[in-house]
Amino acid sequence: MSNDFAQFQDAFFDEVAEHLAVVEEGLLALEQQPDDRDLLNKIFRSAHSIKGGAGMFGFTAVAQFTHKMETLLDLLRNGQKVVTPVVADLLLKSTDCLKTLIDATKSGASVDDEAVQRLTAELAAESDLKAQAKVERGPSESSSTPSLTSTSTTTFVIDWTPPEWLFRRGLDPLQIMRELRVLGTLGEIVMDQSRLPELTAIDPETCYLSWRMQLTTAKDLKAIEKVFEFVREDSKLSIEEVRGKESGVKSDGASDSTQPLTPHADEGERPKPLGTILVESGVVSPAVLDHALAQQKKVGEILVEQKAVTPQQLEQALQKQKQESSAQAKKTDTASIRVDTGKIDKLINLVGELVITQSMLSDLGSRFEMRQLPVLLERVAQLERNTREIQERVMGIRMLPIGTAFSRFPRLVRDLSAKAGKKIQLVLAGEETELDKTVIESIGDPLTHLVRNSADHGLEPPEERLDNNKPEVGTIRLNAFHEGGNICITVEDDGRGLHRDKILAKAVKQGLIGENDKLADDQIWPLIFKPGFSTAEKITDVSGRGVGMDVVKRNIESLGGTVSIKTATGKGTTFTLKLPLTLAIIEGMTVRVGKETYIVPLLSILESIQPKEGWVKTVVGKGELMNVRGTYLPLIRLYDVFGLEPEYRTPTDAILLILETEGERVAVMVDEILGQQQVVIKSMEQNFRKVEGIAGATILGDGTVGFILDVRGVLEIARRGVPVAA
């Protein structure tokens, strides 16, 4: 039971994440086009879905908060309020708060109640201005948009235990509720089924149920009583007025304020809190319970008072609890993946084909004769095709477009530009570049750091930009693309560029370099990746504390990638993250050198040619150069680099691959080109270590391992003339 429930909860959290993204995106767009009604409706729908889901799972805090947002959104939607920057900002802040609430609910961590309360109050205040204007509302709409803050309405809690003969007289409790709904907003309805007997003992015509309903209406008590007119006889009915925001149906709400939120996975089986039962059974009133709960102390506080633990010990224990819950949260994060149904349908079709091929094969095998050999071969080929395609598709399931990692930046840049008083325009490109899910998850933080860095350090304030004949609005450009079997992500700004002298001065001050060291530009820029390095003159809350850039470098390196910097004073800075496609599939050319097979990433191959007599020139100190149609390219003999025994040593017998890496071109000499195929990259580091010149390994058609060439590495080995410590 609890497992099923947890499963639905996971789905809910996934959905909520999507809805939140829609809300946030929508709000950002809304700022630009405040009159877009469609946009508002979209935001409203998403918010409403979050509220509905949260309510269903009993995440009261989330539901209540979303409800407040929804109230404000509804006013905007009805045109009773206009979208102002203040409102948009408040809604964005609320979205953040909602995110925190949901994360907390998910991981069971505690929430900063104060912030939630403050925002709730702000939302209520915004919504309140015109709330009076909307007293009456149609039933269809009011069911989804109750307004608790409206001043002229009253909230009643109705306890109704219908008579047992209810059904026998052809009356329907649902009808009653429908009528109540016409009066106003029917909030939470709690059904009490405690009187329900065993299934065998049930009389289908007897009503065993009772309800507690919360009704917000502009009508008075009499109108409500009238609804119950026909069932009044023998019914137990109590209608109480509730004042202010105090919600009559306390259910879990009372416990939330005093107990830290616990993981909800087991909520399905968790008994109701004692207080709830007492209130529900009418033993105590909600107010009495609240008072009692307010006096209740946390276990830690009691233990400290009794001197059983020291405050320090308590603090440590709480820290540990926090860590554990966040560790738990991380675990759940990687647990599931949302896949496009189209991908799954294709996979199912393929599996169907595989089953057919398999049955054809076993049929053939059961009565095989030699003359059927061609048929057998054909079927095996078909099996091969199927398998390959399935493999690709399955790998593809893990691949997500990088756009999911980019989507957070429009918001980030908006906030940053507001804070720093700069005008920033964000341009995204290459969002469709597919990347393994795990990689996408891990590059979010480094990218955030880089974008922040660009906004804060890179781009100048508008006046300064105008003084320098630049457009007032600065541009940050995020781009993702494949290059030579890697994925490159660039963060580019058209700001002031890195300040050579400032970095040098700082580095000397920090003792990173000596005062008289002469450094080339390429040696200076990486200094900013040193821990504790920041040249920002004033420390803002965005950057300047010197954490960040070293974290970027460390994170990217832990993924097996690199970070490089290009900068020009006054023109801007470009950070390039280069990531390996750890789990990705690449298109490769299989080549042979001696007995070994290597795979060259197709993306780095410009062309392959057979050299002619006289193309090779030897230059003293530079090695061999190859004259390819007038361009001289360094010649790399792969067998030299890898210490192999080749078939051909004269270039004219061999094949040349013209490869490009980071803008450099080289001619690599191999014995033969075998073919082109897609290969799945397997990690060498998992059980071994990184090998220079090799980007990874893959399983070839015959089941043996083939290596994927790292063109850059090969070039570097060739430059040094000797492989590292062979």
Query: Is the CB of residue 409 less than 8 Å from the CB of residue 478?
Result: yes
CA distance 188 to 52: 12
- Kindly state the smallest distance separating residue 329's Cβ from another protein, in Å: 24
Q: Which two tokens stand for residue 630?
A: 């007038």
Alpha-helical segments (H) within 158-220: 173-183
- Torsion from C-alpha of 149, 151, 154, 155, nearest 10 degrees: 10
Q: Is 707 in the site for another protein (CB under 8 A)?
A: yes
Which member of 596, 647, 660, 662 binds another protein (CB under 8 A)?
Answer: 596
Q: Is 705 in the site for another protein (CB under 8 A)?
A: yes
Q: Is 724 in the site for another protein (CB under 8 A)?
A: yes
Query: Is the CB of residue 88 less than 8 Å from the CB of residue 30?
Result: yes
Minimum CB distance to another protein smaller for 451 or for 668: 668
Q: Is 394 in the site for another protein (CB under 8 A)?
A: no
Q: Is 485 in the site for another protein (CB under 8 A)?
A: no
Minimum CB distance to another protein smaller for 210 or for 597: 597
Q: Which stretch binds another protein (CB under 8 A): 129-137, 231-239, 547-555, 691-699?
A: 691-699
Q: Which stretch binds another protein (CB under 8 A): 343-351, 457-465, 559-567, 693-701?
A: 693-701
Q: Which stretch binds another protein (CB under 8 A): 17-25, 112-120, 608-616, 676-684?
A: 676-684
CA distance 246 to 386: 63
Closest to 678 (Cα-Cα) out of 392, 487, 427: 392
Query: Which residue carries 């919504």 as its tokens?
Result: 127
Q: Which two tokens stand for residue 228?
A: 């119950």
Q: Is 514 in the site for another protein (CB under 8 A)?
A: no
Minimum CB distance to another protein smaller for 346 or for 690: 690
- Kindly state the smallest distance separating residue 707's Cβ from another protein, in Å: 7
Q: Is 200 in the site for another protein (CB under 8 A)?
A: no
- Kindly state the smallest distance separating residue 694's Cβ from another protein, in Å: 7
Q: Is 717 in the site for another protein (CB under 8 A)?
A: yes
For the chain, the first-to-last Cα distance in angstroms comes to 59
- Kindly state the smallest distance separating residue 651's Cβ from another protein, in Å: 20
Checking DSSP bridges between strand 596-601 and strand 585-593, what pairing results, if any?
antiparallel
Q: Is 581 in the site for another protein (CB under 8 A)?
A: no
Q: Is 688 in the site for another protein (CB under 8 A)?
A: yes
- Kindly state the smallest distance separating residue 387's Cβ from another protein, in Å: 13
| φ, ψ dihedrals at 153, nearest 5° | -105, 160
- Residue 303 burial (CB count, 10 A): 17
Query: Which residue carries 């307004």 as its tokens?
Result: 147
- What single letter denotes the amino acid at residue 96? D
Closest to 584 (Cα-Cα) out of 711, 430, 396: 396
Minimum CB distance to another protein smaller for 375 or for 694: 694
Q: Spell out the long-range contacts of 694-697 with Cβ–Cβ below 8 A and sequence spacing 24 or more.
A: 695/485, 695/580, 695/601, 696/580, 696/582
Q: Is 697 in the site for another protein (CB under 8 A)?
A: yes
Which member of 215, 451, 636, 641 binds another protein (CB under 8 A)?
Answer: 641
Q: Is 668 in the site for another protein (CB under 8 A)?
A: no
| φ, ψ dihedrals at 166, nearest 5° | -50, -50
CA distance 498 to 535: 10
Q: Is 244 in the site for another protein (CB under 8 A)?
A: no
**In DSSP terms, which residues pair with 665 in a beta bridge?**
660
Q: Is 718 in the site for another protein (CB under 8 A)?
A: no
Minimum CB distance to another protein smaller for 272 or for 719: 719
Which member of 457, 628, 706, 712 binds another protein (CB under 8 A)?
Answer: 706
- Residue 304 burial (CB count, 10 A): 16
**DSSP result, 280-297:** HTTSS-HHHHHHHHHH--
Size of the site for another protein (CB under 8 A): 29
Q: Which stretch binds another protein (CB under 8 A): 269-277, 418-426, 605-613, 701-709?
A: 701-709
- Kindly state the smallest distance separating residue 723's Cβ from another protein, in Å: 4
- Kindly state the smallest distance separating residue 270's Cβ from another protein, in Å: 34
CA distance 144 to 71: 10
Query: Is the CB of residue 569 less than 8 Å from the CB of residue 589?
Result: no
Q: Is 591 in the site for another protein (CB under 8 A)?
A: no
- Kindly state the smallest distance separating residue 641's Cβ from another protein, in Å: 7
Q: Is 703 in the site for another protein (CB under 8 A)?
A: yes
- Kindly state the smallest distance separating residue 527's Cβ from another protein, in Å: 23
Q: Is 642 in the site for another protein (CB under 8 A)?
A: yes
Q: Is 430 in the site for another protein (CB under 8 A)?
A: no
Residues engaged in binding another protein (CB under 8 A)? 596, 641-644, 682-684, 686-694, 697, 699, 703-707, 717, 723-726
